Structure 1
Amino acid sequence: MARYGFLFRNQIQQSEIQEIFMNQDEKMFDREISERERIRSLFAEGMVHGPDGKSAITSDWGDLQLITLLERMAKRIASTDEAPTLREDLHGRSVCTPTPLGGDLVRLCTGFDQFFPRRHQHHVFNPWIKVMVVACGHWCGMQGFGQPAPGIGIVPEDEVALNRIVRFVRRVCHSTAFKWKVANVVRLALQNFRSVCAYFVWLFTLHSRLLILRVDLYYRGKGKWWAYSGEADAAFDRFMRALRESRIIPTVLGYVASREEGPERGIHFHLLVAMDGHKYKDARGFADQIGKAWAEKYSGPGMLGSFFNCYSRRGSYPFNGLGLVHVRDWRKLIGLRAAIRYITKPDYQVKVKSDSERNLRRGLIRATESKLGAPRKARHSMAKVLRILGPAASPDRTATDGELRRRRGPAAADAA
């Protein structure tokens, strides 16, 4: 994937990028984009941004890194038959040494925070993370793993614990019940992703150019505790109603809001808003208006809210999907898809557990009458929108020509 690193340093002509984007290496190219967005989102989730523009790392940073490691380790253990330890003769003695899997598992266990499950007791993890949390919480608390000494290996107690962890994870992950849970998580995540993508495809059918805003909304200080009250839920509903009715910024065409929670930053929201790009251009100004309305009017008594305007860091995105996005601008469309993937992310579901509140909400797709007049010109074609955001696309890649043909006929793939 490193071979495509130059794409993100703007040292290549658009025609060359277009050629790479459309050729057989497209999947690798999409994985590069997805990985860079994941790294960027890790920094975003693990930091708080003050109104003075300064940022600070929170304890969420370490938890998010641990969550990623737990999920990767569970998938690695379940997908291979590699043993965590290996017995070998050394100078006439039988010595137990960790395999590459065992070495990584020891490092994970020694870095596992025993208070992690307690901090996240109100959160719902996906099945991969949950099984590793159970395994590490049980055996890492009982066994203080030590680093293997050269020529000596690991102690018998560590050998037993490592093998028990691996057997437990494989037994659970290979069970039918676990596979059903994973399939359900993947299905719901893909359903949310495609639902939001379909929503933006519909918006692009109405307007060939959208102004995309992205704002993160937080509670600060005592507001973190107030955020769990029914009053806070009602206040956020009023905020979304005011936004939907264009009482905060003019002519809101659509919106998507995601509700999440972190141990230190508490409940917070990720917001995507679409405006008519033919009428409005000031992405930074309108995003600031949304954030200030949240902080000063809708975040509880005493102005408990704060916000971060993502447009101010648009240069940090691998592909910037903020500001003006045209139906033919495939780079901006990929950036928009990355933002949608982030909001509907299945990687680590640190979602608020609530039966009454929706963690993801968006505007409605309404039936519209056909517009009178001539059809759109070729430069306003929806081909690239459908390729990147259409029903055949997925969170990590665009639709292939074959998928487009199956969905919309040969003309669609040829136009793309």
Structure 2
Amino acid sequence: MKAKELKHIEAAMLESTASYFDSNDTGVMSVGGERSAVLKIRDIESLAREISTSDEVCFYQKDMRGRARFAATKMGERLLTNIWAKEVIDKYYPIHDFNPFVKAFFESVEEHAQAFHSLRKAQSFDGDLLVLIDSLNRVVERLRRAVKSKDFKNEISSHRRLSNKNHKSLISYIDAVFEERSRLLVLRVDLGYSKSVVQRHFREGLQFEDVKKHRERFLRLLRARVPPTTFLGHAWKLEFGLSKSFHYHCMFFLDGSKLREDIVWGKIIGELWVENATKGQGVYYNCNRRKNVYRACGIGMVEHSDKGMRENLKKAAIYLTKIEYYMRIATEGRARTFGRGEMPKKPLKKRGRPRGAPASEGGEAIA
């Protein structure tokens, strides 16, 4: 994966750790625990890659003033800080499947983490240093063997295909929605649940099926609420975190030649979720209300010929799809955590006013 693309994915993942949900569109609440867990996931993925391509001995013994001391390379120091990271990550993301490099790391450190559970600082170890050093270096060798295995290569290939499949599907969908329109009114709205619902233990509170039914009811109500022929499409991504429970990140595409006032429509959509779809259990965040905070804004009124805005819109699509490069909700069977509307059919005759071509151009059954 290209470094620039990975940077966009990392930014999207970090953004997902902040909660903005407030039915009055005014509240902003940072979520520290999730952010710490996400930073660990990112570091572990990067570290596992580095270890797998290196042959360095990460842990060794050195002499200091006549005494044997524990020592580690920079790579080894990073490994030490993440040996027990799974405890933190599982706390905030308890129903998730992780990037294959992250899973391989967890499996490789498990034996050492259990054997030395009470020893979180290697430098304070007062036993046989060679036993500790040997255990840590075996962690490194296990990880290298795992990543070089045929099973791992098949797993990482499948993992990348799924993330790319959803992303390409959404990009094709956005292009198709734009194809016969002079402009789109693009809305991004996050849909979640109130604190009283979220604060229940996740195994006793909202279940996957409840959240799915709320989404299906919401989309039926939305199609009935928006003026006929103006609702052109949508996409959604389901996520889960300890502080916010289940929540959706959504994009909606309305006919910009017939509708204006994106902030108003974002509010209408949010209130429909809160008051009707969830019967008062929901909250929402109208992203269009704070378009100015986005470095690359691709929401609001987007003209067909505006190459810059359309590229920014496609960057926003990364948030809904490629965040799964690092982690995704583990679902049973064919349950989906991402979806979009049906691909629009091309009409026999073009609709909308004539337009100039842009400077250049670069359903639901989605996983």
* Contact map agreement 1:218 1:307 (CA 8 A) in 2: yes
Map Cα deviations across residues 201-237 of structure 1 (whole Å, 9 max, x no partner): 1111111321110011111234345531644432321
Compared CA separation, residues 116 and 328, structure 1 to 2 (3 A): same
Aligned-residue offset at 1:365: 1.3
- 3-state SS of 2:325 partner: coil
The percentage of aligned residue pairs carrying the same residue is 24
Q: Aligned to 2:216, which of 237, 242, 245?
A: 237
Q: Which has the higher contact order (CA 8 A, sep 6+)?
A: 2
Determine the C-alpha separation between the residues in 1 that align with 2:28 and 2:139.
38
Structure 1 spans left out of the alignment, 5+ residues: 1-26, 388-416
Q: What's the counterpart of residue 145 of structure 2?
A: 171
Determine the C-alpha separation between the residues in 2 that align with 1:281 and 1:375.
16
TM-score (norm. length: structure 2): 0.84
Compared CA separation, residues 354 and 269, structure 1 to 2 (3 A): farther
Compared CA separation, residues 332 and 247, structure 1 to 2 (3 A): same
Determine the C-alpha separation between the residues in 2 that align with 1:373 and 1:280.
16
Compared CA separation, residues 294 and 343, structure 1 to 2 (3 A): same
* Aligned amino acid, residue 279 of structure 1: K
Q: What's the counterpart of residue 363 of structure 1?
A: 341
Identify the range of structure 1 (273-282 vs 185-194) with the bigger mean alpha-carbon deviation: 273-282
Aligned-residue offset at 1:296: 0.8
Q: Aligned to 2:78, which of 91, 94, 104?
A: 104
Q: What's the counterpart of residue 310 of structure 1?
A: 287
- 3-state SS of 1:130 partner: helix
* Aligned amino acid, residue 355 of structure 1: G
Compared CA separation, residues 233 and 86, structure 1 to 2 (3 A): same
| Map 1:17-416 → 2, pairs under 5 A | 31=4, 35=7, 38-39=10-11, 41-52=13-24, 53-58=26-31, 59-88=33-62, 90=64, 95-109=69-83, 112=85, 114=87, 116-117=89-90, 120-143=93-116, 144-146=119-121, 148=123, 155-224=129-198, 226-228=205-207, 230-243=209-222, 245-248=223-226, 251-300=230-279, 303-345=280-322, 346-371=324-349, 377=355, 379-381=356-358, 384=360, 386-387=361-362
Determine the C-alpha separation between the residues in 2 that align with 1:336 and 1:252.
18
Q: What's the counterpart of residue 365 of structure 2?
A: none
Determine the C-alpha separation between the residues in 2 that align with 1:131 and 1:72.
12
Aligned length: 348
Aligned-residue offset at 1:358: 1.6
* Aligned amino acid, residue 264 of structure 1: S
RMSD: 3.0
Determine the C-alpha separation between the residues in 1 that align with 2:149 and 2:162.
20
Compared CA separation, residues 299 and 135, structure 1 to 2 (3 A): farther
Aligned-residue offset at 1:267: 0.9
Determine the C-alpha separation between the residues in 2 that align with 1:209 and 1:374.
9
Determine the C-alpha separation between the residues in 2 that align with 1:356 and 1:241.
22
Identify the range of structure 1 (125-134 vs 166-175) with the bigger mean alpha-carbon deviation: 125-134
* Contact map agreement 1:85 1:97 (CA 8 A) in 2: yes
TM-score (norm. length: structure 1): 0.75
Compared CA separation, residues 220 and 138, structure 1 to 2 (3 A): farther
Determine the C-alpha separation between the residues in 2 that align with 1:373 and 1:276.
11
Determine the C-alpha separation between the residues in 2 that align with 1:288 and 1:194.
29
